[in-house]
Amino acid sequence: MIEKFPLILLIDDDKNILRNLTEMLTLREYEIITERSGEAALERLKEGKSLPDLIICDIKLPDMNGYEFFEIFSQNQAWAHIPFIFLSGLRAPKKIREGKALGVDDYLTKPINRKELLAVIKGKLKRKHITEEISKEAERLLKETEVQKSLKTIKKIKKNTILFIAIWNDKVGPTLKNYYPKEENISFSIQDIGKKLYQCSRFIYGSEKISEPQDLLINLSQIKQSSYLYFDSYSDQKYRSGRCEFMIGILSSYISYFKSKKLKPAIKELSNHFQEKNKLDLEEYWKKIIEILGHE
């Protein structure tokens, strides 16, 4: 069997940059394809013959700039799972904030620090692999007959976006703590689905304790649903490990990568309030989520 190397799409109008990056990354056993404009890159992606595992894009491009390219790219459901890195000579804090506001995790500046670039690429691809494995496991678990019944129940409600919080217990596994909207007869359905999503995440990540917040976007294409998951923990001696681990989840018809990055600050705020054991107004956070996603 022929080994498949990770495919990286480089977008830059500078031939020298493309040549140097190609040489460096090829030596690290990455397969490289290049384009010199955003329009050309979009055309290549639309062909869909071989989607890249990662995209590295310069901000300053001849037709559309990198920000414009990213906004178009991130709205396409077929591409939304592809990790993205901005590359630019711009060092101004305002420009960096602009890129991060769009949802790009990594913003590297020229001259390129080889060690830093390789570390970021490795981390991005590892996270992509974990996400893909969790998505596969989630789809497998969610295909079970009882869970399918739960999904059908949830899809019948008028408000098709669900916000829920589940706590992990070493003895009984995940338990539903709270959810919104409070439609009749769906608490069991959310408990069932939330449990499966939490279980598959633990299956992939293992039993390692959550030391810092982690978020994850799962696109469940076969059941036409997306789930944004945010894992966190806080000190609580009632638990055997000394920490209470929990997951905040959003289940909706579709959540793009771009939207998931805009969701994170709101969910982080919700996580902080949950840890402080304040009385939560989930409806307020649900409304924020709906506004971000653009759903009714």
**Within this chain, do residues 148 and 65 fall inside the same structural domain, yes or no?**
no
**Within this chain, do residues 56 and 149 fall inside the same structural domain, yes or no?**
no
**Within this chain, do residues 17 and 91 fall inside the same structural domain, yes or no?**
yes
**Within this chain, do residues 17 and 139 fall inside the same structural domain, yes or no?**
no
The pTM for the full model equals 0.73
Would you call 128 exposed, middle or buried from its count of C-beta atoms within 10 A (0-12, 13-18, 19+)? middle
> Strand 54-58's sheet: what is its strand order?
31-35, 7-11, 54-58, 84-88, 106-109
Q: pLDDT tens track of the chain, all 296 residues?
A: 456 799 999 999 999 999 999 999 999 999 999 999 999 999 999 987 789 999 999 988 988 998 899 888 888 878 877 888 988 776 655 666 666 566 565 778 888 889 999 999 998 898 888 888 877 777 776 666 555 565 565 555 546 788 999 888 777 778 888 888 886 555 556 777 777 777 766 665 555 666 678 888 887 766 677 889 998 988 888 877 788 889 999 988 888 877 888 899 999 999 999 998 777 889 999 999 999 988 54
Neighbouring-strand partners of residue 8: 32, 54
* The token pair that represents 259 in the structure block: 């939207």
Residue 255's alpha-carbon distances to 53, 81, 218, 258, 263, in angstroms, are 19, 11, 9, 8, 10
Q: Count how many domains the chain has.
A: 2
From CA 96, how far away is CA 106, in angstroms rounded?
10
Residue 223: give the domain boundaries.
134-293
Does 129 map to a domain? no
**Within this chain, do residues 101 and 165 fall inside the same structural domain, yes or no?**
no
Does 127 map to a domain? no
Does 263 map to a domain? yes
Pick from 131, 99, 105: nearest CA to 120: 105
**Within this chain, do residues 108 and 150 fall inside the same structural domain, yes or no?**
no
- 56-69 burial: b if 16+ Cβ within 10 Å, else e: bbbbebeebebbeb
Does 118 map to a domain? no
Going by DSSP bridges, is the β-strand pair 7-11/54-58 parallel, antiparallel, or unpaired? parallel
From CA 231, how far away is CA 38, in angstroms rounded?
35
* The token pair that represents 64 in the structure block: 């559309």
> How high is the pLDDT of residue 290?
92
**Within this chain, do residues 143 and 22 fall inside the same structural domain, yes or no?**
no
Does 125 map to a domain? no
> How high is the pLDDT of residue 1?
46
